[in-house]
């Protein structure tokens, strides 16, 4: 090999190395955007599938972009109606909720003070307010809260805008991404993207079924037990069930706090109700749905949520399961079938 050929190979190798390092550095710096982009793709897939279903009910002359616009408008209108219906009683409900939560926390603290091991280490006049952060710390906590709140609103806005753009013209972004690859990889990548879209749609159908069942059963159960605001708590439980495993824990906390005001029987009843619903959802509903939709090992789902939270933060936890479902698909088709078993 002459010096010119050797130098050319060295330059190519160096360029590839620099490119890989640059991509890795960019991925690390912008890693918080990765789950938002994936979430936007998931929402765009759902909107396009709904537009396809709508296409069976409307004239064929209506374009796919127009159908997507109809779906987006319907979802926005439904969301506004739901927000308006809850906003009518939001002030009263929020005040009741705040008073009940404060009373529950105070009663729990007073009960905690009467324990023998704790009573000896607390002053007689110790109150809950004495254990709260000082004014300086409170300002810091408030600053962090508003920073997180505005950051969350910005993330949600990015997610919403990307979802709309991806849904209106998906082929533009799909074709553009495929053209960046070598020609020999394009057909396989196109098939993988189509299979990924189907996987995301099936996963979303499964989660919507689980969310609806959990929300309805939890709300009815709370109403029977006599816990205040069963409708709101049921809706909240259904929404947070979007996050498997972790969402169920978030759903039961406000219900337990409100149930503590109704007595020990109500508290135990809510806890039993939660355990029964979580058991049925985890071992009956989800496996049955996933058997017909997407097959995911439960232990791997939990690990995916942990890794997603550590690497990508909050949105990594929210979208960890669908990201894991798509990753399993790509690993199966590219690594196992096309490489190991070929």
Domain range summary for the chain, segments of one domain joined by +: 34-104+142-180
CB atoms < 10 A from the CB of 24, how many?
10
Reported as half-sphere exposure (CB side, CA atoms, 13 A), residue 45 has a value of 22
Q: What's residue 42's pLDDT?
A: 92
In the predicted model, residues of the chain with pLDDT beneath 70 are 1-3, 5, 85-151, 245, 286-295
Q: What's residue 118's pLDDT?
A: 52
Q: What's residue 40's pLDDT?
A: 92
State how far the Cα of 39 lies from the Cα of 45, in Å rounded to an integer: 10
Q: What's residue 128's pLDDT?
A: 46
Structure tokens, 279? 């058991």
Q: What's residue 290's pLDDT?
A: 62
Residue 40 near residue 159 (C-beta atoms within 8 A):
yes
- For the stretch 182-201, pLDDT in tens is 888 888 889 999 999 998 99
Q: What's residue 125's pLDDT?
A: 47
Q: What's residue 44's pLDDT?
A: 92
0.75 exceeded by pTM? no
State how far the Cα of 29 lies from the Cα of 50, in Å rounded to an integer: 35
CA distance to 53, 55, 67, 72, 167, per residue, from 49 (Å):
6, 10, 10, 12, 10
Q: What's residue 106's pLDDT?
A: 62
State how far the Cα of 323 lies from the Cα of 166, in Å rounded to an integer: 17
Q: What's residue 116's pLDDT?
A: 59
Return the DSSP state at 284: I
Q: What's residue 8's pLDDT?
A: 77
Q: What's residue 254's pLDDT?
A: 82
Q: What's residue 2's pLDDT?
A: 59
């Amino acid at each position: 090999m002459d010096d010119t050929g050797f130098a050319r190979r060295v330059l190519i190798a160096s360029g590839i190395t620099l490119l890989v390092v640059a991509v890795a550095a960019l991925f690390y710096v912008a890693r918080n955007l990765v789950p938002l982009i994936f979430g936007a793709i998931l929402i765009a897939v759902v909107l396009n599938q709904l537009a396809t279903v709508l296409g069976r009910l409307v004239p064929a002359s209506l374009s796919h972009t127009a159908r997507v616009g109809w779906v987006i408008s319907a979802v926005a209108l439904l969301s506004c109606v739901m927000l308006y219906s809850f906003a009518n009683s939001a002030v009263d409900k929020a005040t009741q909720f705040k008073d009940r939560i404060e009373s529950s926390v105070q009663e729990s603290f007073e009960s905690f003070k009467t324990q023998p091991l704790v009573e000896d280490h607390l002053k007689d006049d110790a109150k809950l307010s004495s254990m709260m952060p000082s004014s300086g710390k409170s300002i810091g906590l408030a600053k962090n809260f508003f920073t997180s709140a505005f950051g969350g609103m910005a993330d949600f806005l990015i997610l919403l805008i990307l979802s709309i753009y991806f849904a209106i013209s998906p082929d533009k972004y799909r074709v553009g991404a495929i053209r960046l690859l070598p020609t020999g990889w394009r057909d396989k990548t196109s098939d993988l993207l189509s299979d990924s879209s189907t996987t995301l749609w099936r996963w979303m159908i499964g989660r919507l079924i689980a969310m609806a069942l959990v929300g309805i059963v939890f709300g009815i159960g709370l109403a029977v037990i006599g816990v205040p605001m069963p409708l709101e708590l049921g809706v909240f439980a259904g929404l947070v069930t979007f996050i498997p495993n972790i969402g169920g824990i978030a759903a039961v906390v406000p219900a337990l706090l409100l149930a503590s005001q109704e007595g020990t029987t109500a508290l135990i009843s809510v806890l039993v109700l939660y355990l029964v619903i979580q058991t049925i959802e985890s071992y009956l509903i989800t496996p049955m749905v996933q058997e017909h939709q997407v097959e995911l090992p439960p232990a791997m789902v939990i690990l995916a949520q942990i890794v997603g939270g550590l690497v990508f933060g909050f949105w990594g936890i929210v979208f960890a399961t669908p990201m894991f479902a798509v990753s399993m698909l790509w690993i199966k088709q590219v690594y196992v079938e096309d490489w190991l078993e070929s």
